[in-house]
Structure 1
Amino acid sequence: MDAQTLVDERGELWLALAPLWLEREPRETDYARMVEVIQRHDLTLHELEWVFRLELAPVLARHQMSVAGEWRRFDDHKLMRQLVAHNLRLTGWRRKSWALFSGLTTMMARHRWSELMERVAVARGESGY
């Protein structure tokens, strides 16, 4: 997959979900926007979990752990470049390594993710996450 295809297929979703890693708790409007964007993508809750764990968390967790990281707001262009670069390399052993360590990279945003998945399940009329 090339960079443009990644941006076309995942860019909107990635940027919508990035606030899960910001310093502040997401607002109701943030969650509503995330649910709206998720609904436009034809992904199951299981597939969304892997987007969270493998495509987003390895990049965004670095921002949380960095002393000089971006905590209040992300530069969308810079973040998109980082996400595309990460995901272009996400094959073979790298994919397996990130899957193995995804508990660590998702730990600080897990409560927000769980809240979001509950909202998505409700919006879809499904039972809980």
Structure 2
Amino acid sequence: MDAQTLVDERGELWLALAPLWLEREPKETDYARMVEVIQRHDLSVQELEWVFRLELAPVLSRQQMSVASEWRHFDDHKLMRLLVAHNLRLKGWRRKTWALFSGLTTIMARHRWNELMERVLIARGETLS
């Protein structure tokens, strides 16, 4: 997969979900936008979990831990470049390594992710398990 295909297929979803890693709690409007974008991408909850754990968390958790980061908003262009570069390399041992350590990279945003997934399931008319 090339960079443009990644941006076309995942860019909107990645940028919509990025506020889960901001220093402030997402607002109702943030959650509503995330749910709307997720619905357009028609991914299962399991597929969304892997987007969260493998495609987003490795990049966003490193940014979150950086001393020089800005955590009130993101530079979408810079963030997209980082996400595309990461995802182009996400094969073989790298994929397995990130899967292994994904519990650590998602810990700071997990409570927000769980809240979002509850909202997604409600929007889809599915029950929480």
So what's the TM-score if we normalise by structure 2?
0.99
| 1:47-62 to 2 correspondences below 5 Å | 47-62=47-62
Does 1:9 pair with 2:17?
A: no
- The residue that corresponds to 1:110 in the other structure is 110
- Computed over aligned residues only, the root mean square deviation of the Cα atoms, in angstroms, reads 0.6
Task: Could you tell me which runs of 5 or more consecutive residues in structure 2 were left unpaired when the two chains were aligned.
Answer: none
User: How far off is 1:65 after superposition?
Assistant: 0.6
User: How far off is 1:29 after superposition?
Assistant: 0.1
- Mapped to 2, the partners of 1:93 and 1:126 lie a distance apart of 35
User: How far off is 1:78 after superposition?
Assistant: 0.3
- The residue that corresponds to 2:24 in the other structure is 24
1:56 counterpart letter in structure 2: L
- The residue that corresponds to 1:85 in the other structure is 85
Does 1:65 pair with 2:72?
A: no
2:82 counterpart letter in structure 1: Q
Task: Could you tell me which runs of 5 or more consecutive residues in structure 1 were left unpaired when the two chains were aligned.
Answer: none
User: How far off is 1:75 after superposition?
Assistant: 0.1
Q: Any idea what the Cα deviations from partners look like across 1:97-118, whole Å, max 9, x if unmatched?
A: 0000000000000000000000
- Mapped to 2, the partners of 1:128 and 1:19 lie a distance apart of 23
Aligned residues: 129
Q: Any idea what the Cα deviations from partners look like across 1:58-90, whole Å, max 9, x if unmatched?
A: 000011111111211100000000000000000
So what's the TM-score if we normalise by structure 1?
0.99
User: How far off is 1:48 after superposition?
Assistant: 0.1
